[in-house]
Amino acid sequence: MLVLMLYGIKNSEYHWCVPSKVYDYLGTGKPILNLTPAGEVNDMVNRAGVAYNARPDDPEEIAGVIEGLYQQHRAGGIAVRPDWEYIRQFEIARQQAKFIRVVLETAQQGTAAL
């Protein structure tokens, strides 16, 4: 199990910062104890099918989720169903190819306008 904890910007209802470790965590396909506020990271981890969520400011809820994960582990393994199609879109090679495609398309559009 991986633990993902982010401290958000105060007084912001939604957080857009996505640290690179999030992509590394997703790529493992392992369960993630998701202690993130509402925002892009929270959405991504949940969409990937690997999140076990607890509010980052609620120690009792965090302890309950950890206890549940420990019991799953003792019973044979933590249930996780990674959505590999979703997760693989963030692989560096795919991101590089997408970036190159966008740059080339933009350059072609600029040349066509001349």
pTM: 0.76
Within 10 Å of residue 77's Cβ, how many Cβ atoms? 9
Q: Is the confidence at residue 16, as pLDDT, over 70? A: no
pLDDT digits (tens, 9 = 90+) for 36-78: 888 888 999 999 999 999 998 899 999 999 999 999 999 999 9
User: 3-state secondary structure string, the chain?
Assistant: CEEEECCCCCCCCCECCCCHHHHHHHHHCCCEEEECCCEHHHHHHHHCCCEEECCCCCHHHHHHHHHHHHHHHHCCCCCCCCCHHHHHCCCHHHHHHHHHHHHHHHHHHHHHHC
